[in-house]
Amino acid sequence: MLLQINYLIRSKQDGKYLVARVPSDRAEEVSYLLLFQADHEALSYINTHGKSMSDRLTVESVSPPQVKQVLQRWGYQGIGIVKDPLIPEIQFMLCN
């Protein structure tokens, strides 16, 4: 069985992952863990949108079971799959 490997952007300083925070109907924001389909897409995102912070960020590869663990550990409500890192175009999905 082949697993889809995804890539995350993580802070070298505090270990936090790059997320999108979206206002919701509830009082708090909904946080989505951003996933990239290729390492070069994550690096492109950093170079386009976070060049001044590039020395403080790293790209990690993760399998689907690891994504689930990250969601549970950090309390993210869903994932955001980055389709185009330059614009960026992101497809959001809530996870239960």
pLDDT digits over 50-83, tens only?
Answer: 889 999 999 999 999 999 999 999 999 999 999 9
Task: Select from 20, 68, 63, 65 the least CA-distant residue to 45.
Answer: 20
Confidence band, pLDDT 50/70/90 cuts, at residue 1: very low
Within-domain flag for 44:
yes
Q: Is 80 left (phi over 0), alpha (psi -120 to 50) or beta?
A: beta
Does some domain include residue 41? Answer: yes
User: Tokens 């689930």 sit at which residue?
Assistant: 68
Is there a domain that residue 60 lies in? yes
**What's the pTM value of the predicted model, to 2 decimals?**
0.88
Q: Which pLDDT value is given to residue 2?
A: 55
Structural domains in the chain (count): 1
Domain of 16, in residue numbers: 6-94
Does residue 19 belong to any structural domain of this protein?
yes
pLDDT tens track for 11-50: 999 999 999 998 877 767 889 999 999 999 999 999 999 8
